[in-house]
Amino acid sequence: MVDFNYFKLGLTVFISVLFAGLILFFIEQYYYSNMLDRFMTSIPKVVSSFQRSTVPFVNFPSVQQQTTSQIRKLQESNRKEQNRLRAESRAQLASRQSIRKTNDETCSYWREQYRKNKAAYNKVNLDSACSRAAND
């Protein structure tokens, strides 16, 4: 009966795979460096054969070419937009302040009611109103 030494077999397979990987690595390096060399030598030929007339000329209008009336219209529309945004933010701020004031007044009212009469109903309303006021 043949007795296998699995350590030697595994080591042999490992070394074989390692050498195969190294050989493939060096072949790829040679191939890609050869391709890169061919590409780099062809660049000067392509650049020298390049003619300026083959590139289409695209004219982009610049800000300097715009008339002053166009610039003024743009500035005016920007000003109007900024004013509109400011008015919206002022309205939102006024609304938040009004809500805050109402919540504070409601909390004060229920504090006073609870101070006068220590009923459970007044305590529930006090807690509810003051928690809303605190969260504003």
57 is a domain residue: no
Angle between helix 68-116 and helix 120-134 axes, rounded to 10 deg: 160
d(CA 50, CA 110): 86
Residue 31 lies in a domain: yes
| In a domain? residue 25 | yes
Out of 1-5, 31-35, 70-74, 117-121, which region has the weakest mean confidence (pLDDT)?
A: 1-5
- Tell me whether residue 88 is in a domain: no
- Lowest-confidence range among 43-47, 53-57, 87-91, 128-132? 53-57
Q: What percent of the chain has pLDDT over 90?
A: 58
Residue 62 has pLDDT above 80, yes or no: no
Mean pLDDT computed over 2-17: 91
**What is the pTM assigned to this prediction?**
0.42
pLDDT at residue 18, as a whole number = 97
User: Does residue 86 belong to any structural domain of this protein?
Assistant: no
Specify the number of domains making up the chain.
Answer: 2
Looking at the domain assignment, is residue 133 inside a domain?
Answer: yes
pLDDT at 26: 95
- Determine, yes or no, domain membership for 107: yes
Residue 130: inside a domain: yes
Q: What domain range includes position 132?
A: 93-136
